[in-house]
Structure formats: C-alpha cells, structure tokens
C-alpha cells in the first residue's frame, strides 16, 4: 500500500525537547527538512488533569520508583490519534526492554507503513492496563536498560527513515548491508592502497566483478558464522528471524 502523506512518527514523551535531537542531523535531518518524513513529539504531561500535572504514581503492591498512570497516558494516546489527517491503523508501539526485539525485518515493515505512534516509557514502567486497553506493542532495542524510551525511539525511527524512498543516496546500499540477507556485512576498504603495512585484498582491485561478489559473499558468511552463530543457524534452517507482527 502507498500513502499520500509522508511517513510520520508521532512520539509521546515526557521530554519532547529531546526531539528531533540527532534525527535533525545528517541524512535523516535533511530528509526531515525536505518533507520526506514528518516527526511530531507530544508531551504526555499535556494530558495530566490535576493541578500538579502529575503523570506518575507509586506502584500498586509497593516497590521502588514510579509508574506512568494509565488514565494520563490513555488520554495522551487518544489526543494524538484524534487529529485530522492522522493515518489509519498505524502501529502503536511502546519502547520497553521487555518488548519484542527490534530487527531489520521489523524495521522494513514499519518503514513500509504510514509510520508509528511511539510511547516512550519512563520511571519503573507503564500501568499494564493502558498497554492492554490501547493495544500497545512493546518493542525493545536490546537486552539492556535505558532510563527511558526516548533514545530507543530515536533508534527505531532512524533505522526506518533511512529506508524511505529518496532518503539514502543509492537504494542498492540498503540492499547489500548487514541483515538484508540474514548476513553481516562483508569488510570494506578504500584508499590508500597501503595502510600501516596492510594492503587492500587483491581481488577488490582486480576489476573482476564476479570474483569480487564471490569474495564478499564468502567473507559475509564467515563473519556471520563466527560472530553471530544465532543468525547463521536461523538462515540455514530456513527459519524466519524474529519478526515484528505490527501491521501498518
Ligand atoms: N526503555 C528502556 N530500555 C529500553 C530498551 N532496551 N529498549 C527499548 N526501550 C527501552
């Protein structure tokens, strides 16, 4: 399906001033400025209703930290969705270390849709009832804990934006890179020919495109086998890599 309006990320956060941050620079930033994609950072606190504008409270059952309130976050999500020209059926994601791992195939799928609404968690977590009531899909960028979902959201957005039509210089660079075929990327070299006694592998300067392609493939396979036996096993069993089920 193609969408007339540009791919759009809507981010719900307690720190909207963190955006666009690094997404305003380099390839993503140029594409943002030229309208190839759109970014909207919305302050969850704008949906608070009490006089202190509180967004969190202590965890039921006790324990450390604070939990993001279901009512405030639900209102923030509803406000973000009840806006004219909002894409229908966009994925609704919650950045969380307990979520489904973000993979290149999830990224390809998200980049092909209208663009997600992304909730950035903070504190100890988010009230479970809003995750269920607004069908938030939890997504993790890795097995480590950040203090909030903002940087994780930026990672996800950056990975998607570089795949949007017109953003990367040459479309082929996206097809050949790591994970495109379930393999890590082969080593790259450039001038000078000689660096601290090390030369560029002779095949790469031979001009023989078939030998270059075969060498690169073999290097990519060898790297994947040694560094990522999990990817190698998944590729050879014909099994799909963990795939996000988000539907745009
Ligand atoms: N928020 C905190 N840690 C995170 C992680 N690893 N991935 C996504 N969101 C997070």
For the chain, domain boundaries = 7-161, 175-237
Spatial contact of 121 and 70, defined as CB atoms under 8 Å apart:
no
Nearest to 204 by CA among 226, 182, 224, 219: 219
How much is the pTM?
Answer: 0.91
Ligand 1 mean position, distance from CA 140 (Å):
5
pLDDT at 150 over 50: yes
Please check whether the domain covering 175-237 is classified as CATH 2.60.40.420. no
Please identify, in words, the CATH class of the domain defined by 7-161.
alpha beta
User: Is the beta carbon of 4 within 6 A of some atom in ligand 1?
Assistant: no
pLDDT band at 3 (very low <50, low <70, confident <90, very high): low
User: Is the beta carbon of 114 within 6 A of some atom in ligand 1?
Assistant: no
**SS3 (DSSP) at 92:** strand
CA-to-CA distance for 127 and 218, rounded, in angstroms?
48
Q: Which residues pair with 92 in a beta bridge?
A: 117
Average pLDDT, rounded, for the chain:
92
């Amino acid at each position: 399906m193609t969408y007339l309006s540009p791919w759009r990320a809507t981010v719900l956060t307690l720190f909207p001033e963190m955006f666009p941050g690094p997404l305003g620079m380099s390839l993503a930033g140029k594409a943002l400025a030229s309208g190839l994609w759109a970014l909207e950072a919305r302050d969850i606190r704008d949906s608070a209703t009490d006089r202190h504008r509180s967004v969190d409270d202590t965890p039921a059952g006790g324990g450390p930290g604070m939990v993001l309130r279901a009512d405030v976050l639900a209102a923030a999500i509803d406000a973000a969705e009840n806006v004219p020209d909002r894409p229908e059926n966009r994925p609704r994601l919650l950045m969380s270390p307990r979520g489904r791992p973000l993979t290149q195939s999830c990224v390809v799928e998200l980049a092909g849709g209208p663009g997600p609404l992304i909730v950035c968690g903070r504190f100890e977590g988010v009230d479970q009832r809003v995750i269920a009531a607004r069908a938030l899909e939890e997504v993790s960028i890795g097995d480590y804990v950040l203090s909030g979902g903002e940087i994780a959201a930026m990672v996800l957005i950056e990975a998607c934006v570089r795949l949007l039509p017109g953003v990367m210089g040459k479309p082929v660079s996206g097809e050949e890179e790591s994970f495109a075929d379930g393999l890590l990327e082969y080593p790259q070299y450039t001038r000078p020919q000689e660096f601290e006694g090390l030369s560029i592998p002779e095949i790469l300067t031979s001009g023989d495109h078939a030998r270059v392609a075969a060498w690169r493939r073999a290097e990519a396979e060898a790297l994947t086998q040694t560094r990522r036996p999990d990817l190698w096993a998944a590729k050879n069993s014909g099994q799909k890599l963990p795939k996000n089920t988000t539907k745009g």
